[in-house]
Amino acid sequence: MPDNMSRPLIRDRGGSRRLEASMSDPSAPVVGILGTGDFSRSLARRLVASGYQVVVGSRNPKRFEALFPEEAEVTSQIEAASQADLVFVAVHPEHHSTLVELKLTLAGKTLVDVSNGLRINQDGPSNAELLADLFPESPVVKGFNTISAWALQMGPWDGSRQIFLCSDCSKSKNMMTQLCRKMGFIPVDMGSLSSSLEVENLPLHLFPSWRIPVLCTASLFVFFYLYNFVRDVLHPFVTKKESVFYKMPIDTVNVTLPCVALVMLSLVYLPGLCAAFLQLWWGTKYKRFPVYLDQWLTRRKQFGLCSFLCAALHAVYSLCLPMRKSAKIKLTNAAFDQVKQGVEARWVDEDVWRMELYLSAGIMALGLLSLLAVTSLPSVANAINWREFSFVQSTLGYCALSMATLHTLLFGWDRAFDPKQYRFYTPPTFLLVVILPVTILLCRVSLLVPCLAGRLRRIRRGWEKNRHIRFNLQDDGRHNGLEDMSHV
C-alpha cells in the first residue's frame, strides 16, 4: 500500500513559491516550520488552509519542495527563521542542538515545541524545558504534540479537537490560542511550562483508565473458565471416562462470558452504593472517599463497556451453538433414538416456559446494555442533559442489572436443589454469579426506604449531622431547602 504522506499534498504546481499575502490574512503572523517530516507537511497544509502565511525551513529545500503546498515557501532554516513571527520546531528532540546556530535569529520569537518522548518521563525535564534552556531569549510554548499528522491533514472533523498548551509567556500562549481556534481546534490552557512534562506524557499512556477494568475482566474470565472446565469437562472425564474436551472452545467459553458480564455490570453499581452508605454513616458529603473508591467511581464507564462486550460475545456464541457439527450429530442421534424406541417428543410446560422467559430476559438485558453503551459515547452524552443521562445510566442501568440477574436465575431454575449439580462438591456456577448482583439490588431497594432516602437526599444537599444546620426540603421539590436558617 503506498504511503499517502509521501505524495505531494497539492498537485498541479506552478508559478512562484514565494509567499502571497493576497491569499492569506495580512494581520495573521507569518508561521515558520522547522522540519520537513510527515507532521510538518500536514501542519503546513492545515495552516495554509486556515489563511496563514507559511514558510518551511529545511536543510535540503530542493528535495522536499514538491511535498508541500504551493502557497508555502520551502527555504533554508536560517531564512525561514528570519521571516517567521512564530516558529514550530518540528524536529526530534535529539536534534534540537543542531538549531543552536539559529539562536540569534530566533531571539524574541515564539517557539512551539511539538515533540514527544520515546517513553513516559516521570522525572523531567521535559523536551520543552530543554528547548527553553537552549533558547533562553525565545518564549517556548508546548502544544500540538497530542495531535497526529493524520488529524492535521484531515482537519478537526476527523480526529481529536483539543490542543493542550502551556507556556510561561502569556502573550505567546494567547497567540497560540488564537491560532488553534482559527484552525478549528479547541485550545486547552494547561498553565505554565512546568506542566509540559505532563502534556508530553499524555500521548504515551496506553489506555490508563482501562487497565484495572481490563485486568478485572481477564481475571474473572480465567477464574470462571477454569471453574466451568473443572465442572463440565474434567468431571465427566474423571468419573465416567467420557471425553468432552471439544466443549472447551465454544461451550465453556459461552458459559463463562455471561458470568463475567454480570459480575462486571454489578461492579459498575457497587461503588455508588458504597459511596451512598459511607455518606449515610458519616452524615456528611464533605468527607473524601478512600482513594480506591474514588478511582473505582471514575472507571465505572470502562467496567460497563467491558460488561457489554462480554454480553455481546455471549449472544454471538449462543447464536452459533446450533451451527456446530457436534450439536448436529447430537440432535440427529437423539431423533434417531426416539424413532427407534417409538418415543414421542414430550411437551413439558415448565421447561417451555422457563426457556421462553430465560431468552426474553436475556434479550431485554442485552438491549438495555446496548442503550447504556451508546449513551456512554461522548457524542451522544453531549446531546442529552444531565437528568436524561442520569436516568439512562442509573434507572435503566439497574433495570439492565435486574434483567441480567433474572436471566441467570431462570437459567438455573431448580438446579440449585439438585445434588447432581454439585460436581466435585462445588456449587453450580450461576449460584456464585448471582450473589453479588442480588446483594446490590437488595441494597439499592433499601436506599429507597423513605427514612434512608430522605436522609441521603438531605446530606447531598449539604446537611451535616455534626453541625447545627437545618435544611427543610419541601414536598413539591421546587424549593432549595434553605428556608429554615434560624439555627445557623
- State the CB neighbour count (10 A cutoff) for residue 295: 13
pLDDT average, residue stretch 242-264: 95
Residue 4: pLDDT over 60: no
The mean per-residue pLDDT over the stretch 285-293 comes to: 93
What is the DSSP pairing of strand 140-142 with strand 162-167?
A: antiparallel
Q: What is the mean pLDDT of the chain?
A: 87
Tell me if 81 sits within 8 A of 102, measured CB to CB. Answer: yes
pLDDT at 292 over 60: yes
What are 158-195's pLDDT values in tens digits? 556 889 999 999 999 999 999 999 998 999 999 999 99
C-alpha cell at 143: 502544544
Q: What is the pLDDT of residue 343?
A: 61
* Higher-pLDDT residue of 130, 338: 130
Please give the average per-residue pLDDT across 132-137, as a whole number.
95
Q: The whole model's pTM is what?
A: 0.77
Helix (H/G/I), strand (E/B), else coil: 478: coil
Q: Is the pLDDT of residue 25 over 90?
A: no
Nearest partner of 274 among 396, 447, 459, 450, judged by Cα: 447
CB atoms within 10 A of CB 254: 19
What does the alpha-carbon distance between residue 460 and residue 477 come to, in Å, rounded to a whole number?
14
Between CA 173 and CA 416 the distance in angstroms is 67
- Single out the residue of 79, 22, 77, 82 nearest to residue 53, CA to CA: 22
**What would the pLDDT profile of 434-461 be if each residue is shown by its tens digit?**
999 999 999 999 999 999 999 999 999 9
pLDDT higher than threshold 90 for residue 113: yes
pLDDT score at 350: 86
Give the bridge partners for 76, in sequence order: 58
CA distances from 29 to 25, 98, 289 (A): 9, 25, 49
Q: What is the pLDDT of residue 8?
A: 46
pLDDT beyond 90 at 335: no
Neighbour-count burial for 478-488, b at 16+ CB within 10 Å, e otherwise: eeebeeeeeee
What CA–CA distance (Å, rounded) separates 235 from 422?
Answer: 11
pLDDT digits (tens, 9 = 90+) for 148-165: 888 887 765 655 688 999
Calculated CA dihedral for residues 477, 483, 487, 488, nearest 10 degrees = 100
C-alpha torsion 190→192→195→200, nearest 10: 80
Q: What is the mean pLDDT of residues 10-28?
A: 47
- Dihedral angle over CA of 214, 216, 217, 218, nearest 10: 90
Q: Which residues neighbour 471 within 8 Å (Cβ) at sequence distance 6 or greater?
A: 458, 461, 462, 463, 481, 482, 484
The model's confidence at residue 338, banded by pLDDT at 50, 70 and 90, is low
Is the predicted pLDDT of residue 20 greater than 80, yes or no? no
Phi-psi region of 233 (alpha: psi -120 to 50; beta: other; left: phi over 0): alpha
Would you state the pLDDT for residue 160?
A: 64
Residue with cell 482501562: 210
Residue 182, C-beta contacts closer than 8 angstroms, at least 6 positions apart? 28, 50, 51, 52
pLDDT at residue 174, as a whole number:
95
pLDDT beyond 60 at 333: yes
Q: Which pLDDT score is estimated for 27? A: 67
Instruction: Say whether pLDDT at 291 is over 90.
Output: yes
Please name which of 57, 72, 182 lies closest in space to residue 109, comparing C-alpha atoms.
57
Q: pLDDT confidence of 24, banded at 50, 70, 90? A: low
Q: According to the model, what pLDDT value does residue 252 have? A: 96
